[in-house]
Amino acid sequence: MTWLYIAAPFSAVLGAYWLARCIGRLGRIIFPATSSRFAATVDPYSFSLPAAGRYLVNIVMPPMTLITGTSHFSARFDIATNPRSMPVTYNSYGRSLFQTTRSDTGGRTSVPIGSFECSAPGEFDIRCVNPETIRPDFELEISPHVSPLILVATILSTIAASALVIGGLVFSVLGLFSLR
């Protein structure tokens, strides 16, 4: 049992490092670095993507929006590379029970309505074909796609790291009191 009291401070320090890394990763998921926000009426909106990969087109609802509506799910977009106007395939999402919404600290809620694949970094143009389907106070956002598996693994890892920190601190304190 004494080995537990000896290992407890090390597990608390290891857990604190692991927890800091998990919180940093969750911060990058909630506040993506390559996010672009714009109004649906901007025709076309130019943005740049720093890396290849899958990106989402999200509807950003203002804080305290009680009735959101569903017409924004029928919005269609034309996406093309900027200098050469090569079209990029846009995949529209329908209404689904299994949607991942994201809220920031300002109270704005982001709901994905479609995605596209970026084969190479560069400049892109996006145009909403039917902007009347999106409420005027809503915005659009381009953000990187986060796999649900990565999100769940990060949340479980955060819980495990928290347990390691708390357990290490509790057993360290118990070890100090048992030395008396």
Q: In this predicted structure, what is the pLDDT of residue 39?
A: 83
Residue 9 amino acid letter: P
If one counts the domains in the chain, the total is: 1
pLDDT at 23: 96
What pLDDT does residue 168 have? 93
In order, the DSSP letters of 153-166 are HHHHHHHHHHHHHH
Domain that holds residue 20: 2-178
For residue 20, what pLDDT is reported? 97
pLDDT given for residue 108 in this prediction: 82
Predicted pLDDT at 66: 63
pLDDT given for residue 86 in this prediction: 86
Report the pLDDT value the prediction gives residue 161, as an integer from 0 to 100. Answer: 97
CA distances from 42 to 84, 121, 126 (A): 20, 22, 9
Q: If DSSP codes are grouped into helix, strand and coil, which group holds residue 3? A: helix
| CA pair distance 105, 98, nearest whole angstrom | 23
Token pair 């959101």: residue: 68
Q: Please, are residues 20 and 180 in contact by the beta-carbon 8 Å criterion?
A: no
pTM, two decimal places: 0.75
3-state helix, strand, coil in the chain (%, to 5): 35, 30, 35
Task: Check residue 132 and report its DSSP letter.
Answer: G
| pLDDT attached to residue 3 | 78
Residues of the chain with pLDDT under 70: 1, 34, 66-71, 94-100, 179-180
One-letter amino acid of 136: P
